[in-house]
Structure 1
Amino acid sequence: MDFEEMGARLGLEKEEFMELVDIFVSSAEEDIQKLNNALSVSDSKAVAEAAHSLKGSSGNLGFSAIADLASRIEQNARKSDLTDLDSYSVNISCEIEKIKVVIS
């Protein structure tokens, strides 16, 4: 992950972008927790809302892998199909961990 390049695409210096990434990681972890909680009680609406939040924030910063996974979760949840969505959530968590390694 080239945060300098990702920031430049948004018209930001690397340091500015890194601040946004820090905020993103914190909010993404909260959204993943909400997503997992909603999945555990089969709450399609809450799953879709958490996934939508993840999709937007990750997409805005250029984390397309997370945005794509969150989009799949959101689409399925809107159809009330929660089958195997926990695996997507795990994959999103793995992507977040990769970001955390780079910023630490």
Structure 2
Amino acid sequence: MTDTHIDREALSVLREVMEDGYPELLDTFLTDSENRLRELQMTADAEVLSNVAHSLKGSAGNMGATRLAELCQKLESDAKDKGPAQIAKLVAEIGSEFAQVRPDYEHERQHALTQ
């Protein structure tokens, strides 16, 4: 079965490359993503939205959170052109996607700590 939310191959490569640092990488990703999501939810400034979305897109992409990265890309490029309702909907989609993948990353972290 193909996971449309997380690129498992990317996680596998990160696990090999990071070795003992892998759980800490997962922790950092989760914490940073929560902070950036909060920033997105609290601002209406198009430039801030675009910059934060860009940052989150990069880390999500690096961590294999493909759908989250795609949504952030959309927000990054649309932040200056869309109305507040459309931006709010996109930020909500990003929040929802993060809520969906977060347990997978938490599970991955637990799994990495017990190996």
TM-score by length of 1: 0.76
Cα 1:13–1:47 change in 2 (3 A) is: closer
2:74 maps to: 72
2:33 maps to: 28
1:81 maps to: 82
Kept in 2, the 8 Å contact 1:8–1:14? The answer is no
Gaps of 5+ in 2: 108-115
Aligned length: 100
Once structures 1 and 2 are overlaid, which stretch shifts more, 5-14 or 43-52? 5-14
Gaps of 5+ in 1: none
Give me the CA root mean square deviation.
2.5
After superposition, what is the alpha-carbon deviation per residue over 1:33-61, rounded to whole angstroms, capped at 9, x for unaligned?
A: 1111112xxx1111111111111110111
Task: Report how far residue 20 of structure 1 moved.
Answer: 1.7
Larger radius of gyration, structure 1 or 2?
2
Cα 1:47–1:17 change in 2 (3 A) is: same
Q: Which amino acid aligns with 1:6?
A: A
TM-score by length of 2: 0.70
Aligned residues with identical type, % of pairs: 26
